């Protein structure tokens, strides 16, 4: 009974060790990147082999320390996993490397055993109907049998899982057979004549020892895929939102140019030249962030076109603080707000008015304000302005995508006195903006 109790405890310890190893590897970004690949180059397969071999060879070396630590030996499971994940080359090389501590301890049959199990894992990988089936492996054989008879369209998949179950159990029996009929390997089974149920418990443990890391690593793969999909979604939304701005700005500017072609051709040519500078900025590779200094220079070019249209009626005042000019802001952040000030605030005002841009730094925040002394916004429209229209709502949506809850945007307006749109965003580091 003591031997049996110790045996069962050892099986539980073995599963705990396997879960710990799998969890530690799943936290490593390099290893997680390898898991994302289904087709690997030779160098990638070798790298995967070295990652798996290093931890599972350590488990074999731990067992070499004495009979008490036999539960730590996960060499067979590690070799099989290497073959399942990386194929023949990864499985064979991993089996050889994992067996080295046992070889140095005089267990000569360990090398051919683990190398053969690694190759077996590669063979099973090739038998899978599709690569994802390896990750769906379940140690519950009754579920595979049930699916085999109920899901007629998936016979290949259920047959693969049953074959994988049988292969793992066979590999474990082979390990125990080698241990019993040779003096080169010490088996885990209790006593010289173990109860048949001990074989059942050992086989079930080996099945779970293979399934546990597959489930843990597949969860890591799923998490990384979701992160990647989220990143792509953000990029797509930013591209769609930006594409709303550029045509809108271009059409309004061309209307301004067309109004001067007959009345003042020289001024129209100057506007076209300035417009070409603006378009060069819009048509080059677009970045999500740029220096505030560049954004203000772009605004000056844009306003020079509008000033030619409105004349002295339109004035611009730049009150940007010097210590904010090199701070990063979302590209094309200010232009929609300035355009709104002209179109809705000043164009309907007979005497025109002034647009003023203010910026200042407040601890780790950048505060921006676009003000005009135009006709203002009616209170009923002001309440829903952030959700409607191309300009302001676009800016608000982009800030929401980029900063989540870490930004503020609000609008103050009074009829016949003007409007002030204010934005507060966190200070961005250059490397963070480049990554975005």
Per residue of the chain (436 residues), what is the pLDDT tens digit?
446 677 788 888 889 989 999 999 998 888 888 888 878 888 889 999 999 999 999 988 887 665 445 677 889 999 999 999 999 999 999 999 999 988 888 788 889 999 999 999 999 999 888 888 888 888 876 565 666 566 556 677 878 888 899 999 899 888 877 776 665 555 466 556 667 777 788 888 899 999 999 999 999 888 888 777 777 667 656 666 666 556 666 776 777 778 778 887 887 888 888 888 877 776 665 567 889 999 999 888 888 877 776 777 888 999 999 999 999 998 888 988 888 888 888 877 878 899 999 999 988 899 999 999 988 888 878 777 777 656 788 788 888 888 888 899 999 988 888 999 999 999 875 544 444 4
Enumerate the domain spans of the chain: 2-228, 259-435
Nearest in space to 133 (alpha carbons), one of 158, 169, 168: 158
Strands 418-426 and 314-320: unpaired
- 253-296: pLDDT as tens digits: 777 778 778 887 887 888 888 888 877 776 665 567 889 999 99
Determine which helix (DSSP H) or strand (DSSP E) holds 291, and give its type and residue range: strand 289-291
Encode 278-315: b = buried (16+ Cβ within 10 Å), e = exposed. beebbeeeeebbbbbeebbebbeebbbbbbbbbeeebe
Torsion sign, CA atoms 375, 381, 383, 389: negative
Query: CB under 8 Å to 170, separation ≥6 — which residues?
Result: none
Strands 314-320 and 353-362: parallel
SS3 421: strand
- What tokens appear for 254 in the block? 């061309």
Give yes or no for a contact between 197 and 159, defined as CB atoms under 8 angstroms apart: no
Nearest in space to 369 (alpha carbons), one of 430, 418, 307, 297: 418
Nearest in space to 211 (alpha carbons), one of 305, 145, 134: 134
- 377-422: pLDDT as tens digits: 888 787 777 776 567 887 888 888 888 888 999 999 888 889 999 9
Listing DSSP states for 129-165 in one string gives SSTHHHHT--S-HHHHHHHHHH-GGGHHHHHHHHHHH
Determine which helix (DSSP H) or strand (DSSP E) holds 414, and give its type and residue range: strand 408-414
- What tokens appear for 37 in the block? 């690949």
How far apart CA 14 and CA 71 sit, in angstroms, is 5
Q: What CATH number should be reported for the domain whose range is 259-435?
A: 3.30.565.10
Query: CB under 8 Å to 119, separation ≥6 — which residues?
Result: 83, 88, 91, 92, 95
In Å, how far are 75, 107, 186, 210, 219 from 64, measured between CA atoms? 12, 10, 10, 22, 32
Query: CB under 8 Å to 264, separation ≥6 — which residues?
Result: none
């Amino acid at each position: 009974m003591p031997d049996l109790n110790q045996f069962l405890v050892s099986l539980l310890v073995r599963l705990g060790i396997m879960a710990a190893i799998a969890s530690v590897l799943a936290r490593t970004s390099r290893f997680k990147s390898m898991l994302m690949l289904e087709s690997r180059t030779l160098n990638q397969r070798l790298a995967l082999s070295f990652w798996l071999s290093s931890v599972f060879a350590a488990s074999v070396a731990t067992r070499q320390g004495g009979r008490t630590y036999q539960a730590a030996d996960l060499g067979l499971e590690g070799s099989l996993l290497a073959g399942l994940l990386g194929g023949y080359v990864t499985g064979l090389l991993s089996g050889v490397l994992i067996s080295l501590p046992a070889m140095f301890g005089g267990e000569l049959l360990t090398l051919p055993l683990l190398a053969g199990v690694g190759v077996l894992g590669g063979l099973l990988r090739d038998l899978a109907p599709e690569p994802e089936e390896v990750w769906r492996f379940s140690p519950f054989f009754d579920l595979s049998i049930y699916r085999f008879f109920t899901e007629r369209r998936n016979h290949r998949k259920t047959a693969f899982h049953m074959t994988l179950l049988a292969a793992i159990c066979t590999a474990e029996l082979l390990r125990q057979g080698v241990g019993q009929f040779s003096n080169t390997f010490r088996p885990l089974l209790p006593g010289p004549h173990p109860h048949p149920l001990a074989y059942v418990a050992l086989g079930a443990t080996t099945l779970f020892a293979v399934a546990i890391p597959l489930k843990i690593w597949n969860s890591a793969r799923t998490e990384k895929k979701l992160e990647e999909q989220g990143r792509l979604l953000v990029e797509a939304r930013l591209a769609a939102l930006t594409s709303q701005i550029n045509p809108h700005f271009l059409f309004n500017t061309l209307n301004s140019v067309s109004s001067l072609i007959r009345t003042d051709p020289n001024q129209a040519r100057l506007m076209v030249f300035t417009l070409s500078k603006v378009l060069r900025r819009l048509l080059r590779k677009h970045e999500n962030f740029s220096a505030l200094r560049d954004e203000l220079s772009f605004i000056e070019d844009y306003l020079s076109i509008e000033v030619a249209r409105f004349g002295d009626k339109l004035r611009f005042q730049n009150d940007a603080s010097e210590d904010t000019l090199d701070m990063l802001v979302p590209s094309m952040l200010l232009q929609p707000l300035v355009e709104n000030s002209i179109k809705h605030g000043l164009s309907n005002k007979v005497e025109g008015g002034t647009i003023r841009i203010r910026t200042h730094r407040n601890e780790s925040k950048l505060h921006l304000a676009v003000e005009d002394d135009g006709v203002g916004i009616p209170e009923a429209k002001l309440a829903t302005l952030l959700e409607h229209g191309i300009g302001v709502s676009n800016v608000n949506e982009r800030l929401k995508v980029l900063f989540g809850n870490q930004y503020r945007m609000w609008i103050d307006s009074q009829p016949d006195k003007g409007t002030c749109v204010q934005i507060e965003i966190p200070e961005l580091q250059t490397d963070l903006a480049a990554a975005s």
